[in-house]
Chain A
């Protein structure tokens, strides 16, 4: 069973800054199987990225994904106030990582 690890656990940044979130898999995974979700308090998760780098419908282009093998990254180029949330990676529609909280410094 693949285990996903996310780092850092919490990222404290200011609006306008760049956020770099990491997702590491315990073994190599297909780049087409890695997805990222955003969850805000009291809300359901929302799909951001699938297939490592494809943005879901209506996701702004400040969100981008990259990576291969065991190391994947979600980058938010310039944080907007609405981007402060928890982000989860997921492998092949099953295992989730523990999440990274992006909070406001």
Chain B
């Protein structure tokens, strides 16, 4: 059974750093891209970027380039989303998702349960 399990709730102060994780199981983690998606309180889904754990190739949405860092460790079947200086506006639920893709199609077939990040002084 394919599963993506994310790390738990985080409460941080502005300016602090943070790394959240997404651990895959039930499939070859190196063979599918992993995406990160933000959902701010009461709002819709925003695509942040993706990583290919096989070689750590990473692509960012222009809206998130330079604001976060996406990484992966194929030895532990984990992908990460990292901030170096959190802001209150980073308060959101963050989802990871497995991407199925080819030249013609791309979609997210499995999702993590989400990680709630709250940034408040």
Contact = CB atoms under 8 A, between A and B. Distances in A.
A93 B35 contact: yes
Interface string B62-88: 100000000000000000000000000
Interface residues of B, number: 25
Interface in B88-121: 95, 97, 99-101, 104-109, 111-114
Size category of the A interface is 20 to 34
A32 B104 contact: yes
Decide if the interface of chain B is mainly helix, strand, loop or mixed: strand
Nearest to A1: B62
Interface in B26-58: 33, 35, 37, 44-47, 50
A30 B29 CA distance: 28
24 contacts: A33-B105, A44-B112, A44-B113, A44-B114, A45-B108, A45-B111, A47-B108, A50-B107, A50-B109, A51-B107, A90-B45, A90-B47, A92-B106, A93-B47, A93-B101, A93-B106, A93-B107, A93-B108, A94-B47, A94-B106, A95-B47, A96-B37, A96-B45, A96-B47
Interface of A: 1, 30, 32-33, 35, 37, 39, 44-47, 50-51, 56, 86, 88, 90, 92-99
